Structure 1
Amino acid sequence: MILRNKIDRILSTVLVIIMAVMVVNVLWQVFTRFVIGTPSSFTDELARYLMIWVGVLGAAYISGRRMHVAIDLLPTRLNKEGQQKLKIISNSIIILFCFFAMVIGGVRLVYITFTLEQYSPALQIPLAVVYLVIPISGLLIIYYKISDILNKQ
Structure 2
Amino acid sequence: MKFRRKIDLYLGYILATIMGVMVINVLWQVFTRFVMGDPSSLTDELARYLMIWVGVLGAAYISGKKMHVAIEVLPNRLSKEKQLKLKRFVNFIIIIFCFTALVVGGLRLVYITYVLDQHSPALQIPLAMVYAIIPVSGVLIIYYKISDIYLKQF
TM-score by length of 2: 0.99
Code of the residue aligned with 1:119 in structure 2: it is: H
Alignment-derived partner of residue 69 in structure 1: 69
2:81 aligns to what?
Answer: 81
Structure-to-structure mapping, 1:15-94, within 5 angstroms? 15-94=15-94
- Which residue identity lines up with residue 148 of structure 1 in the other structure? D
CA deviation string 1:50-73 (max 9, x = no partner)? 000000000000000000000001
Q: Which runs of 5+ in 1 are unaligned?
A: none
Distance 2:8 2:97 in 1: 22
Distance in 1, Cα, partners of 2:79 & 2:2 = 30
User: 2:37 is matched by which residue type in structure 1?
Assistant: G
CA–CA separation in structure 2 for the residues paired with 1:29 and 1:46: 10
Write the letter of the residue equivalent to 1:75: P
Residue aligning to 1:7: 7
Counterpart-to-counterpart distance in 1, 2:129 and 2:74: 40
Q: Alpha-carbon deviation of 1:29? A: 0.2
Task: After the TM superposition, list the runs of 4 or more consecutive aligned residues in structure 1 that deviate by more than 6 angstroms.
Answer: none
Q: Quick one: which amino acid aligns to residue 138 of structure 1? A: G
1:107 is the counterpart of 2:107: yes
Normalising by structure 1, what TM-score? 0.99
Q: Tell me the secondary structure at the aligned position of residue 42 of structure 1.
A: helix
Q: Give the superposed CA RMSD.
A: 0.4
Residue identity matched to 1:149:
I
Q: Does 1:140 align with 2:140?
A: yes
Distance 1:37 1:8 in 2: 42
Give the gaps of 5 or more residues in structure 2. none
CA distance in 1, matches of 2:41, 2:68: 36
Q: Which residue identity lines up with residue 18 of structure 1 in the other structure?
A: I
Q: Percent identity?
A: 72
Deviations 1:115-152 (A, max 9, x none): 00000000000000110010000000000000000011
Matched residue type, 2:58: G
Q: How far does the alpha carbon of each residue in 1:86-130 deviate from its partner, in whole angstroms, 9 at most, with x for none?
A: 010000000000000000000000000000000000000000011
Structure 2 CA distance, aligned partners of 1:89 and 1:102? 19
Aligned length: 153
